[in-house]
């Protein structure tokens, strides 16, 4: 894993471009602490920071090759999991590879397949290839790896993170009312293809771009398709098992120490079980980690969304599988203090302690491991959320995971939130996405509901989780892989009848049935529990004091918050936006929002 950035202009050469890209590259050094370099010529300047994972000695970037009397240069962030298959095709054409890293394989894949190159890739990636006349950029199908860009005059500017974009003097930190509405009514989900910053766009998941002297051309190289299913239940179970095991085993390959993030839930336990099987075949033992919060055991209170604690289940799975297991416990003071660092690494107010805790855990993991596998993305694909089988949630006219969409915005004065206009804007985005979902005319109503729930979840809910995972892990120089985000799994499961996926009214029944034999029933049929939050009352005390201190010193929040609503929220016990955002998390989010406004010199226009 790495970071990439660059500035390209085929009309107006500039000697200042190198210094600008050097600054852009430097602020993303955390993503690639092992190596840095810049490629530059009169039209193009490309920056790269490297986190060494495969072929540590020979994977230096930017990487250039000469083929057919033409020079090609690549900067790339990601991992390609089907390298062996692509290598065979490369070698058939008489090309001799100089390295064992996927960067060289990807570069030759572009040379051979051209703009169709991403269609051949199984992996997570964002990359740019320069051939002397144009640059080609592409992003993986689910957007696991980030890529932002801006067109300013005849220049293309791009980077892995927003903070690098803002290092370029051509790019402003202006945020208009639409960007603010996304933050208040939708975040941490965001609309694909744009950002909250007026000057910064996002290359969408599964999208390509060519930029040359004639300007920009963009297109989608992949989209999920609704297709009829002609096989039976047993085929679905067997096919799912084969796809899952293949995806996990492909992602176990690494030249640096690798682990699995094990919560004790179904998804991470599936990854751990197959991962341990792979390790045993190779004469090793899998390392696993679970996460806990200081004081949580004493303060835990079960709820509809968190019916039970994870820690005992994680220990049970680790013992059952025989992994080398470590429990990491996040101290309350670090959980609160790291809210600021988490905002800096995400470049936006994010998911409060859900972010800061993962940031802490990844810092601890980095002491022993560079690569981790996670169970993220299963619920969006297999139907683990209640809006898959509760139509009243999906058809509520707003994103179903946002229970009270106006509530967070109500903390702000109406001249800031424009409550009706802002709500209607975000609701229109929901309606548009709802209608875009591919369905078949003869789908049952339950199948239509399931398709739409999956489509929305993958394109919004899942992308926010992947963004969090990428930013918090890469802040510590840790690469986290997500086997469930293999497009082959989604393509297959999307078209399996809902009756098979929800057999006996059990969420994710298809996944559970397919992995029988890999896990004991206690785990295989365990009810879903989301990423844990702290229940320690000392956390609320800590963040409440942090917020009071910021308000006392003249925070911008004084001008925009409704003080009565703030007091009401501080004394409440319910949720204040989504399923995991109660009063402590809402206070923490306000701290992140205030820091973001100040640190990023946000100009609300």
Between the alpha carbon of residue 297 and those of residues 307, 329, 585, the distances in Å are: 14, 11, 19
Whether the CB-CB separation of 362 and 289 falls below 8 Å is answered with no
Angle at 193 between CA 184 and CA 561, to 5 degrees: 10
Task: Measure CA of the first residue to CA of the last residue in the chain; give whole Å.
Answer: 36
Candidate list 2, 45, 198, 377, residue with the active-site label: 2
The radius of gyration computed from the CA coordinates of the chain, to the nearest angstrom, equals 24
Whether the CB-CB separation of 28 and 160 falls below 8 Å is answered with yes
Q: Which among 77, 97, 75 has a CA at the least distance from the CA of 86?
A: 97
CA 288/CA 124 separation, integer angstroms: 22
Q: Which among 433, 425, 483 has a CA at the least distance from the CA of 460?
A: 433
CA 218/CA 211 separation, integer angstroms: 9
**Residue 359 CA from chain centroid, whole number:** 14
Active site residue 2: yes
Helices and strands (DSSP H and E) totals, the chain: 25, 19
Q: Which among 170, 127, 173 has a CA at the least distance from the CA of 152?
A: 170
CA 334/CA 201 separation, integer angstroms: 33
Spatial strand order of the sheet with 2-8 comes to 35-40, 44-50, 2-8, 155-159, 148-152, 201-202
User: What contacts 562, CB < 8 A, 6 or more positions away?
Assistant: 410, 411, 412, 413
User: What contacts 499, CB < 8 A, 6 or more positions away?
Assistant: 446
- Kindly tell me the burial class for residue 544, based on how many C-beta atoms sit within 10 Å of its own C-beta (0-12, 13-18, 19 or more): middle
Angle at 428 between CA 426 and CA 434, to 5 degrees: 110
Query: Facing residues of 79 across strands?
Result: 124
Dihedral pair phi/psi, residue 554, rounded to 5°: 95, 40
Q: Residue for token digits 């995806």?
A: 247
Helices (H), 262-310: 266-281, 296-299
Whether the CB-CB separation of 380 and 454 falls below 8 Å is answered with yes
CA 311/CA 318 separation, integer angstroms: 11
CA 55/CA 172 separation, integer angstroms: 38
By annotation, the residues acting in catalysis are: 2
């Amino acid at each position: 894993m790495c970071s990439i950035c660059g500035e390209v202009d085929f009309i107006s050469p500039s000697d200042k471009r190198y210094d600008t890209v050097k600054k852009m590259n430097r602020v993303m050094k955390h993503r690639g602490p092992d190596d840095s370099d810049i490629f530059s010529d009169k039209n193009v300047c490309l920056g790269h920071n490297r986190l060494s994972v495969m072929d540590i000695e020979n994977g230096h970037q930017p990487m250039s090759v000469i083929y057919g009397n033409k020079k090609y240069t690549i900067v790339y962030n990601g991992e390609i999991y089907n390298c062996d298959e692509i290598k065979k095709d490369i070698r058939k054409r008489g090309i001799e590879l100089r390295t064992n890293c996927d960067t060289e394989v990807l570069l030759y894949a572009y040379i051979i397949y051209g703009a169709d190159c991403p269609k051949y890739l199984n992996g997570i990636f964002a990359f740019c290839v320069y051939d002397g006349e144009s640059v080609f950029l592409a992003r993986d199908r689910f957007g696991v790896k980030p890529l932002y860009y801006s067109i300013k005059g005849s220049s293309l500017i791009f980077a892995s993170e927003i903070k690098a974009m803002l290092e370029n003097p051509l790019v402003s930190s202006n945020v208009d009312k639409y960007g603010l509405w996304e933050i208040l009514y939708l975040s941490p989900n965001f609309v694909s293809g744009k950002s909250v910053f007026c000057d910064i766009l996002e290359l969408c998941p599964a999208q390509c771009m060519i930029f040359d002297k004639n300007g920009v051309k963009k297109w989608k190289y992949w989209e999920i398709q609704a297709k009829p299913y002609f096989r039976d239940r047993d085929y679905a179970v067997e096919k799912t098992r084969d796809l899952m095991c293949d995806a996990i085993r492909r992602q176990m390959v690494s030249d640096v120490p690798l682990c699995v993030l094990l919560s004790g839930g179904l998804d991470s336990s599936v990854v751990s079980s197959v991962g341990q099987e792979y390790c045993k075949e190779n004469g090793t033992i899998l390392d696993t980690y679970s996460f806990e919060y200081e004081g949580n055991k004493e303060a835990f209170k079960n709820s509809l969304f968190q019916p039970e604690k994870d820690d005992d289940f994680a220990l049970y799975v680790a013992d059952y599988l025989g992994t080398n297991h470590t429990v990491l416990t996040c101290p309350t003071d670090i959980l609160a203090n790291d809210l600021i660092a988490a905002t800096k690494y995400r470049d936006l107010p994010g998911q409060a302690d859900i972010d800061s805790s993962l940031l802490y855990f990844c810092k601890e993991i980095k002491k022993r491991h560079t690569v981790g596998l996670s169970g993220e993305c299963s619920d969006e694909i297999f139907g683990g959320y209640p809006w898959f089988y509760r139509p009243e949630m999906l058809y509520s006219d707003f994103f179903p995971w946002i229970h009270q969409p106006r509530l967070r915005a109500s903390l702000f004065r109406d001249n800031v939130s424009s409550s009706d206009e802002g709500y209607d804007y975000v609701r229109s985005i929901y309606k548009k996405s709802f209608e875009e979902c591919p369905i078949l005319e003869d789908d049952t109503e339950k199948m239509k509901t399931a398709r739409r729930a999956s489509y929305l979840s993958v394109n919004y809910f899942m992308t926010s989780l992947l963004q969090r995972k990428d930013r918090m892990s890469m802040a510590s120089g840790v690469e986290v892989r997500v086997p469930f985000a293999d497009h082959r799994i989604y393509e297959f499961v999307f078209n399996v009848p809902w009756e098979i996926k929800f057999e006996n009214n059990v969420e994710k029944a298809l996944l559970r049935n397919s992995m029988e034999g890999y896990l004991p029933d206690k785990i295989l049929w365990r009810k879903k529990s989301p990423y844990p939050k702290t229940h320690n009352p000392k956390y609320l005390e800590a963040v409440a004091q942090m917020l009071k201190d910021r308000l006392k010193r003249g925070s911008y929040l004084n001008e925009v918050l409704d003080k009565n609503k703030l007091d009401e929220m501080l004394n409440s016990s319910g949720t204040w936006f989504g399923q995991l955002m109660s009063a402590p998390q809402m206070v923490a989010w306000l701290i992140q929002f205030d820091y973001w406004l100040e640190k990023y010199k946000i100009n609300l226009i």
